[in-house]
Amino acid sequence: MAEYKYEYVARIIKSKIQNAEYKPGDKMPSIFALAKELGLNKDTIIRAYGQLESEHWIYTVAKSGHYVVKAADAAEETPLIIDMLSTSPASEINPYKDFYHCMEKAISLYEHKLFSYSAPKGMPELIGALSKYLADYQIFAKPQDIFITSGAQQALFILATMDFPHGHDAILVEQPTYNAMMDIININKIPVISIQRTARGIDLSKLEKIFSQNKVKFFYTMPRFQNPTGFSYCNHQKKEILRLAKKYCVYIVEDDYLADLDIDPKNDPIAAFDTDDIVIYIKSFSKTFLPGLRLGMAIIPARLQAAFMKMKGAMDISSSVHSQGALEIYLRSGMYKSHIKRARAHYQEKMVVLDAECKKELQGLACCFVPPMGIFAYIEVGGITAESLVIRLEQSGLKAWGIGPAYIEGFDHTEGIRLCICKADTKSIVRAVQIIKNVLY
C-alpha cells in the first residue's frame, strides 16, 4: 500500500527519536526549515507533525515550536501487552486536529444554538447532512424519519423498552450477539428468543418458525461485520429475512455500526431493500470515528416515531449539540469521506496480516474466521473454555475477549474468542497469533 508523504516524514522522525538523534526535550526543526531540507511543501510537514503530536511523540509550545516528549511518554514500538480487546478506533488514524477545527467552526457558526436547548430529535442541519450521507448506502431516508441519539446504545435501549403498535414484546437475537444488547435485555427483564448464527448465516426455515409461533417485537441483527464474530449476510439472506419479517409483521432493528468500512459497493444494508417501513436502521460513529462524541442515528418508521420521541425526550432532552454541529460540518466538508478512505486502508492491511497468520499458524488448532474487512475476527477452540483461554492468553501477553457474555444463559454454544485489530499494529498481530498457537499447542 502506497505511503502518503506526511506518513513518510512522520516515520523518519519516529526513527530518529528512537535512535536518539532527537532526544527528549529537543526542539524539532521548524516547519519551514524541515520542508526546505526535505524538498516538500509546508502542508506536508504540518500534517506529519500533527500525526506525531496525536501519537504523543512530540508536543507544541505556543510561539516556540515543536519538542520531543519525554521518553516515558513516547509510544512503544512493541508493547509488552498486545491489546486485541479494546474496540476504540486506532488513535493513529483518528482525525483529532481536523475535528477540533470543526468544533471551533461550529461554535462560530451555531453559537446561539450550541448553548441552548435543542430539539430532542436532533439538529436539522446534521439530519440534513446525514440524509445525503445515507444515500451513498442506497438508503434514501427523509429528514423527518432520522433521529439523532446519544450513541447507538441509547437507540437500542429505547427500542427495547418502548411499546410497539402490534403489542408484541419478545426480542429475537442472533447467537452470539452484541453483549451490550444482551445487557439491555437482561436489565429490563425483556422476553428474549434466540437463533444461531454461523459464518454461513442463519437457518431461514427456523427463522420462519420462530416468527410464526412467537409474538416477536423485533429481530435485532448486525448484518455485516457482526460483533463479536465478524460474520456478514449475503444480499440474498438479507432479502429473505426481510420477506419473512414482512410476512409475519415483525420489525427488524438493523445495527449497521461498521457500514463505513465495507469495501464491497454491492453489499447493501437490509434497509436498502425495505419498501414497507419495517426496518429500523441504526448507525453509530463510535467504531470508525471518535467514540467520545457519543452520537448515533436511527431511521424510525412513522408509526413508531411518537413513542420513540417521547422516550428520547424523557432520557436526555437532546444529544450533545456541540458535537452535532461539529459532525455536520465534518460531513459536509468531505473530511469524513477522506477519513473513512484512510481507515479502510488501515484496517484492511491489518486484517490481511491476521488472516495470513491464522492460516499459517493455527491450522488444525482452531477454527478461524477472519473477514476481509471490519475490525473483528473470531477464533473458535475446542478442549478449553473461552474463559480459561482468555486468562492464559493474558498471562502470555495478549488481551482478547471470550464471547460467553454474547450468549443467552443456557444457550448451547462452542467456545471462542474475539480478536479486535484496532489497537494492534501488524507486528503485534503476528506476535498475537504466535501466542495463541503456543497456548493451544
CB 44 within 8 A of CB 6: yes
pLDDT in tens, 106-149: 888 887 777 776 778 999 999 999 999 999 999 999 999 999 99
Q: Are 57 and 12 in contact (CB under 8 A)?
A: no
72 pLDDT higher than 60: no
Q: What torsion do the CA atoms of 337, 268, 138, 252 make, to the nearest 10 degrees?
A: -110
For the chain, the first-to-last Cα distance in angstroms comes to 34
Is 283 within 8 Å of 259 (Cβ atoms)? yes
> Tell me: the pLDDT tens digits for 79-116?
578 999 999 887 778 888 888 889 888 888 887 777 77
216, containing H or E segment: strand 216-221
Q: Which helix or strand (DSSP H or E) is residue 124 part of? A: helix 124-135
CATH 3.90.1150.10: which residues of the chain? 82-94+338-440
Q: Answer whether 377's CB lies under 8 Å from 370's CB.
A: yes
Q: DSSP class of residue 388? A: H
DSSP3 helix / strand / coil % (the chain, rounded to 5)? 45, 15, 40
CA 166 centroid distance within chain: 32
C-beta of residue 379 within 8 angstroms of C-beta of residue 436: yes
Kindly state the cell numbers that stand for 320. Answer: 450533545
Measured CA to CA in angstroms, residue 35 lies from 45, 154, 277 at distances of 6, 47, 56
**Domain 97-335 is found in CATH 3.40.190.10:** no
Q: Which residues contact 181 (CB under 8 A, 6 or more apart)?
A: 156, 160, 173, 220, 255
Q: Let me know the angle formed at the C-alpha of 163 by 161 and 168, rounded to the nearest 5 degrees.
A: 100
Q: Is the pLDDT of residue 260 over 90?
A: yes
Q: What is the DSSP letter of 289?
A: S
Angle, CA of 176, 182 and 186, to the nearest 5°: 140
What residues does CATH 3.40.640.10 cover in the chain?
97-335
Give tens-digit pLDDT for 211-254. Answer: 999 999 999 999 999 999 999 999 999 999 999 999 999 999 99
| Residue in the structure block whose three cell numbers are 441483527 | 221
Give the pLDDT of residue 370.
97
Question: Which residue spans of the chain are classified as CATH 1.10.10.10?
Answer: 5-73
Contact yes or no for 390/406 (Cβ under 8 A) = no
- Name the fold adopted by 5-73: Arc Repressor Mutant, subunit A (1.10.10)
Task: Determine the topology of domain 82-94+338-440 in CATH.
Answer: Aspartate Aminotransferase, domain 1 (3.90.1150)
Residues of the chain above pLDDT 70, percent: 97
Q: Which residues lie closer than 8 Å to 132 by C-beta, 6 or more apart?
A: none
Q: Nearest-CA neighbor of 223 among 250, 255, 181? A: 255
Beta strands 296-299 and 146-149 are antiparallel
Per the CB < 8 A criterion, the answer to whether 260 and 225 are in contact is: no
Residues 411-425 have a mean pLDDT of 93
The type of residue at 376 is F
DSSP string covering 30-42: PHHHHHHHHT--H
Q: pLDDT at residue 74 above 60?
A: no
Exposed / middle / buried, residue 119 (Cβ in 10 Å: 0-12, 13-18, 19+) = middle
CA-to-CA separations, 204 to 201, 218, 237, 245, 311, in angstroms, rounded: 9, 16, 8, 11, 33
